[in-house]
Each structure stands twice: as structure tokens, then as C-alpha cells.
Amino acid sequence: MKIQSYLSFKGQCQEALNYYQSLFGGEIINRQTYEDQKIDIPENYRNKLQHAELKGSGFHIMGYDASPDTPITVGTNIQMSIDMEDDKKAKALFEKLSQTGKIHTNFQKTSWGAYYGRVSDQYGIHWMINSK
């Protein structure tokens, strides 16, 4: 079994995937816009992403720009969980995500013996970072 995330955005999918790529590396693949699709979408939205994927070593994130009439509750519909082995790298990633986001749980030692922090990034996506 393989479980992946699929993130919905309000027109910032490409920007968000570029940002995640700068953090995690990987390659943006299967990039498709609404450009030639025969669906009812505003002309100024045709360059937005109907589908794209960021894929790298140990991760695969899919995303799209929901059509303008699709309601999205930003940030409450998904959380991304990252397990890491290196506490320093985990803390550095947490700090990068929180620079333009909002910290919900400080990166700290937990009752289960790991370091853990929870943050929402600038796009409203919730991240849980756990380092053992």
C-alpha cells in the first residue's frame, strides 16, 4: 500500500510546489494546466495547474489548483507528516517552514522520546515534523 498527499490550492499550486522543491528537492513532473481543457474555466485561470506532482527520494506530493468555484477550507483538510532521523536537519526544516508560516507546536522533545513540531506554512498546509 502507498499513501500520498494531494493538495488543493486557490491558484498558487506552481508557487507552492516550487517552494516545497526548494525545501525537499525532487522534480516537478506531470505538469498539466487547464490551457487546452474543454471545461468551463475562466480564461485568466487557464494557465493554472490542473495536475502536477513533486516526486523525490522518499516522497511524492500531488497537487492542483481547484477551479475558482470549488470551495476549499485552507489547511484543515490535510496534514503532512515528515519523519526524520537527524534532529538538526529536522529542526532546520521546521525553522524554514515556520519563517513564513505559523507555529502551532514548538519543535521540542516529546513524551514519546522524539523531537516534534507542528507548523502551517504560508499556503495554509499543516506540517508535523518528527525526529527520532
Q: What is the pLDDT of residue 89?
A: 95
Concatenating the DSSP letter of every residue in the chain gives ----EEEEESS-HHHHHHHHHHHH--EEEEEEESTT--S---GGGTTSEEEEEEEETTEEEEEEE--TTS---TTTS-EEEEEES-HHHHHHHHHHHHHSSEEEEEEEE-TTSSEEEEEE-TTS-EEEEEE-
pLDDT in tens, 49-98: 999 999 999 999 999 998 888 888 866 657 788 989 999 999 999 999 99
Which domains are delineated in the chain? 5-65 (3.30.720.100), 79-131 (3.10.180.10)
According to the per-residue pLDDT averaged within each range, which of 34-38, 117-121, 124-128 is highest? 117-121
**What's the mean pLDDT in 6-35?**
95
Q: What is the pLDDT of residue 75?
A: 60
Q: What is the mean pLDDT of the chain?
A: 90
